[in-house]
Amino acid sequence: MGDGLARRILTGIYRPGVAAPSIRDLAAEFHTTRNTTARVLHELAARGLLERPRATESFRVRDVRSDAGVDAYRFLLDPVLMPDSAAAVFTEMLDILEGIVIDAVVGLLRGTRPVSRRWLSERLDSLPRDAVFDDGARIQTLTLAVEVLRELLALPQFGLQRAILNSLATALLNVPEAVRALVPERPDPYLPLWHALAATASFGGLSDAGITRASTLCRVYHRSAIERFQELIIERQGEAFGVDPAERGDIIGA
């Protein structure tokens, strides 16, 4: 029941701002008790999908994309629960992250955020060096990447970018398919981006050409991650429904 109602909210069947169906109507539809229905609605509210301004009022549907926060994104990224939206939301999140990375690089160019070369080098040196990454190494690497960006965005003028980064990173780190897409099995594809940031600190700022190169690296990296995420959605759908992944190529609107 909870997953079904969440899907209706996240796909827009229940429009933001309108009252959710009553406890009585939902209990009748799902053939359950009113107490159980009320508990499910409270759980959805705790996840950020519904709101109830006053105890005496009906539950209302929240605009999950604008104000429901991390929990809503976790739902939207779920490759089994939300296969139709997961790839689009992942792409949207990486587009936002790309802008945040470029803001960080431009901030370094303008000298608004001097970063210690030693600090960056130490973090780059702590990256896993295994030939093949397991899930633990992937999480470690992605967490480190977020830490670097947080440091680059530490000044007050980057407060909004930092807050968005924190929310998106928390959501992505809690979706295994997102982590595997962002940090591939072998490390080579993403390391150049962080070495470019290290070079920024080493030489006291990037040229315009350097910013363009960093932007290109970021974009290529994100496009590759999106392709991997789409492949993982197909694999998960095959596992969930007992279907050969090769026969499930239509599930993400391909």
**Beta-bridge partners for 91:** none
Residue 248 to residue 99: CA distance in whole angstroms: 33
Give the tokens for residue 182: 């962002």
Cβ-defined contacts of 242-248 (< 8 Å, 24+) = none
> Taking all residues of the chain, what is their mean pLDDT, rounded to a whole number?
75
Q: In the chain, which residues fall in CATH 1.20.120.530?
A: 71-242
- Confidence band (pLDDT; 50, 70, 90) for 109? low
Q: Which residue from 16, 3, 126 is spatially nearest to 64, judged by alpha carbons?
A: 16
Q: What is the mean pLDDT of residues 37-46?
A: 88
Give the tokens for residue 100: 């945040």
**Beta-bridge partners for 19:** 60
Q: What is the mean pLDDT of residues 36-49?
A: 86
3-class DSSP state of 203: coil
**pLDDT tens profile 158-174:** 888 888 888 788 888 88
Residue bearing the bigger pLDDT, 141 or 180: 180
Query: At the fourth CATH level, which superfamily is domain 71-242?
Result: GntR ligand-binding domain-like (1.20.120.530)
Residue 218 to residue 222: CA distance in whole angstroms: 6
Residue bearing the bigger pLDDT, 248 or 223: 223
- Confidence band (pLDDT; 50, 70, 90) for 21? very high
Residue bearing the bigger pLDDT, 84 or 33: 33
Residues 6+ apart with CB under 8 A from 246: none
**pLDDT tens profile 202-221:** 545 556 666 677 777 778 88
**pLDDT tens profile 237-247:** 777 666 554 55
What CATH number was assigned to the domain covering residues 2-68?
1.10.10.10
CB 120 within 8 A of CB 196: no
The per-residue pLDDT for 13 is 80
- Confidence band (pLDDT; 50, 70, 90) for 253? very low
Q: In the chain, which residues fall in CATH 1.10.10.10?
A: 2-68
Q: What is the mean pLDDT of residues 181-208?
A: 59
CB 47 within 8 A of CB 71: yes
**pLDDT tens profile 121-131:** 676 667 666 65
Residue 101 to residue 234: CA distance in whole angstroms: 29
**204 burial type by CB count under 10 A (0-12 exposed, 13-18 middle, 19+ buried):** exposed
- Confidence band (pLDDT; 50, 70, 90) for 252? very low
The per-residue pLDDT for 28 is 93
